[in-house]
Amino acid sequence: MKPSTQALRRPSGPPEAANRRSQGRKPTPASHHHPLQLELFGQTHPGLPRGRQDTQPVPRPSVVPHPDAPRLELQRALNRLTGGRLASLVLTDNRRTILTVKAGRPGDRSQLCLRIHRSFVGAPPEALEAVAAFLESRKGSDRSRAALAVIRQHFHQHHPERRTRQTTLRPEGTMYDLREIVADLNRRYFGDRLAVGVTWGRSSGGAAHHCRRRRTSSLQLGSYSYEERLIRLHGVLDQPTIPRFVIEAIIFHELLHADMPPVVRHGRRYVHTPEFRRREREYRHLDKANRWIQEHLPELLRARAKASPRRRRA
């Protein structure tokens, strides 16, 4: 055993001097012979007895989420689904454009840059899978169209509060009151269970809605808005020469949309399902109305052209 330093220390001077020095020295408290212990946690101060220590807990720092955390979380989720192809992601508040994608470098689509509406932050897995499928599919392909249908459905259902457009309803026409026709069809075919509005639209055509009825390249006779629960009929039909069964056939078609929401299967959105077509044939004048529209479509197009304001050319 290694001897201590006190055993190796030699007294300086004669023994009598050493005895005199030890007699005049004050006794050292026993506690000073022990090593000093410091607390790792808490507010213990080494100079205070334990009974006088500060017992207040140490406040923990508050965690503030980073502003970019939602965007980065969405980018990570999409990168997991696309194999890391997403080089950058920007969140937008666009009201019409849901997403835009472009190559990270010209001619190289191995890395993509995405701008997407912020309503997709925290979106369910099926919506994110549709976004990933849209990014990886060829433009105009069946896979791309199917993914886009799911993307649009999520956007319309989870879009944040938008400025509501003030719609002025004009159900009274020169020949028919559309409210009376809706009430009659609702009673005869739907048991009075549908609550929808109806109005004549602008003769020059309005904004596109969720469902279109008999749209040609320049004419849309009727539409139904799921968000507004509103049926619109083209103003070109507000003429005394239009038979009532034509108006009824178009309104009946739109009432079916109010009663039968779109069906999503395997990522695709179906509006005119076989069941929809079967129920549409319950209207007894459907074939006659279809024939009349086909025969008189040129007249309707000319009437629309007359009612539309001419554009001023620069």
- Which CATH number do you get for residue 99? 3.30.2010
Does one domain contain both 78 and 188? no
Name, in order, each residue with C-beta under 8 angstroms of 56's C-beta and a sequence gap of 6 or more.
Answer: 43
The residue type of 160 is P
| The pLDDT of residue 233 | 94
Give the closest residue to 86 by CA, choosing from 67, 69, 109, 117: 109
Task: Write out pLDDT tens, residues 173-183.
Answer: 988 999 999 99
**d(Cα 76, Cα 204) in Å, to the nearest integer?**
46
Give the chain's length.
314
Q: Using the predicted structure, report yes or no on whether residue 291 has a pLDDT greater than 90.
A: yes
Torsion angle in degrees (nearest 10) through CA of 167, 173, 177, 179: -10
Position 1 in a domain? no
pLDDT (mean) for 134-161: 84
Mean pLDDT over all residues of the chain? 78
CA 121 to CA 75: how far, in whole Å?
A: 9
Q: What pLDDT shows up at residue 212?
A: 43
Q: Residue 196: which pLDDT band, with cuts at 50, 70 and 90?
A: very high
Query: pLDDT: is 16 or 186 the higher one?
Result: 186
Q: Which two structure tokens, joined as six digits, stand for 284?
A: 């007894």
Task: Give the pLDDT mean for 16-44.
Answer: 55
Pairing of strands 211-215, 99-105: unpaired
pLDDT in tens, 56-83: 666 776 666 778 899 999 999 999 999 9
Reported as a single tens digit per residue, the pLDDT across 244-265 is: 999 999 999 999 999 998 887 7
Looking at the fold, whether 138 and 213 belong to one and the same domain comes out as no
Domain assignment of residue 298, given as a range: 178-307
Cα 157 versus chain centre, distance: 7
Whether residues 302 and 262 share a domain: the answer is: yes
